[in-house]
Amino acid sequence: MMRDFLRTASVLLVLLALVGCAPQAARREPGTRPTTTQRPENTVRAEFTRLEQRFGARLGVHALDTGSGEIVTHRADERWAFCSTMKTFTAAAVLRRNTVEDLDRRITYTRADLVPYSPVTERHVDSGMTLREVLRAALRVSDNTAQNLLLRELGGPEGLQRELRELGDTTSHVDRYEPELNEAEPGDVRDTSTPRALAANLREVVLGDALAPEKRKILRGAMRNPPLTEELVQAGMPEGWEIEDKSGAGKYATRNDIAVLYPPERDPIVLVVMTSKSDEDAEYDDALVAEAARTTLDMLE
């Protein structure tokens, strides 16, 4: 009996030792960033190539589940014209440079400053608008004159370029004002970026510490459920999720959406979708952006 007892005790000691030596990766410390993992390349390529063939377009995707660290990526280092998605980072840069009190400063401009698609600023030429109102017009309804007024606050496109470099973005090129930046000519690096770079920028300004909490709240509030993007990433996300995003469109069927998604009971997902076609006058497809988002989110489940 004593021999059996000793044998059992020895087995228990070995098992306890093995448990103590178990890998620590599964027990990540609270508050630390997860190690990023990437979906098998062949599987991802096949899914997104199918969408490219179906819509006759080029598709770029970069997504990060900030909780699990899982990444889904396709053509993430290729360039697209960023179009109006850059309004997000223009607004963030203006917020960084100004105090919250400064947002009540009135911005004046003339009718000569108006450019095509300026539904808010064109109504306030005589009275001007506060900096806060200009910022919301750029983000909520993608007002182009509002974007140019924000760029003027930064010293022009070169000022925004410097802000992006300070953010750690060495990829994006910021060169022109609205609406010229939407020309999107293939091979022209002016006013272009990549899905990976925009995703990193978006994570910094919306989820990171690039902005003080009160300023970050202002940015996120202006990006929450905007009316112009319902057929884009919003259309591809599950019911009950929240979204903060900014879309963009240009020639060569350029259609983009950069988004932070908030699933219930999960950490946020950063998702960038960029699309284009080879014909300058081709129509863009909102459905392609929505399908790309749906496919990406299915992979992250």
Indicate the pLDDT class of residue 22, thresholds 50, 70 and 90. very low
Query: Considering 41, 158, 166, 180, which one is annotated as catalytic?
Result: 180
Average pLDDT (5-9) is 40
Q: What dihedral do alpha carbons 263, 295, 197, 54 form, nearest 10°?
A: -150
Q: Is 261 a residue whose pLDDT tops 60?
A: yes
Closest residue by Cα to residue 218 from 82, 99, 65: 99
pLDDT at 249: 99
Residue partners of 300: CB distance under 8 A and separation at least 6: 63, 65, 68, 70, 72, 269
**Backbone phi, psi, residue 65, to 5°:** -85, 110
- Residue 171 φ/ψ, nearest 5 degrees: -105, -50
Q: Pick 24 or 107 by higher pLDDT.
A: 107
Class of domain 34-300: alpha beta
- Record the pTM: 0.87
Give 135-191 as a DSSP string.
Answer: HHHHHHS--HHHHHHHHHHHTSHHHHHHHHHHHT--S-B----TTGGG---TT--TT
pLDDT at position 34 is 54
**CA 273 distance to own-chain centroid:** 8
In percent, how much of the chain has pLDDT > 90?
Answer: 85
Across the range 223-227, mean pLDDT stands at 95
Question: What type of residue is 233?
Answer: V
Say how far residue 181 (Cα) sits from the centre of its chain.
19
* 83-96 average pLDDT score: 99
Tokens encoding 252 = 């060569």
- When pLDDT is cut at 50, 70 and 90, the band that residue 36 belongs to is low
239 is catalytic: no
> Three-class SS of residue 270?
strand
* Residue of 47, 84, 153, 291 with catalytic role: 84
8 Å CB contact between 199 and 271? yes
Is residue 180 part of the annotated active site? The answer reads: yes
Distance (Å, whole) CA 56 – CA 50: 10
- Give the per-residue pLDDT at 3: 42
**CB 144, CB 117: distance < 8 Å:** yes
pLDDT at 41: 74
CA distance 288 to 275: 8
Q: Which sequence spans correspond to the domains of the chain? A: 34-300
